[in-house]
Amino acid sequence: MIGDPLADLKALSIRPEPFHPTGRLTEEHWKKLAIGKDGFLWLAEIDLAAQVLMNNSESLAWEDSERGQFR
């Protein structure tokens, strides 16, 4: 592999915003993920998980037609 695979990652905020629909990550998908519904995570941790998923929403596949392939 050539280059740093982490070089293009978006920086994470110290105070991430709560979830809002972005790209392939819709409100329906977010609800199905049920992140934090078990009470295990703090609100800030839920917001951080949301930020990571929102930053990478185009790499998520919810149907076979959205799937890609690795080389």
Per residue in 31-40, pLDDT (tens digit) is 999 999 999 9
Instruction: Write out the residue range of the structural domain in which residue 31 sits.
Output: 27-57
Q: Residue 1: what pLDDT?
A: 58
64 within domain boundaries: no
65 within domain boundaries: no
Structural domain total, the chain: 1
> pLDDT tens for residues 6-47?
888 888 999 999 999 998 999 999 999 999 999 999 999 999
31 within domain boundaries: yes
67 within domain boundaries: no
What is the DSSP code string of the chain? --S-TTTTPPPPPSSPPPP--BTTB-HHHHHHHTTTTTS-S-HHHHHHHHHHHHHTGGG--SSGGG-----
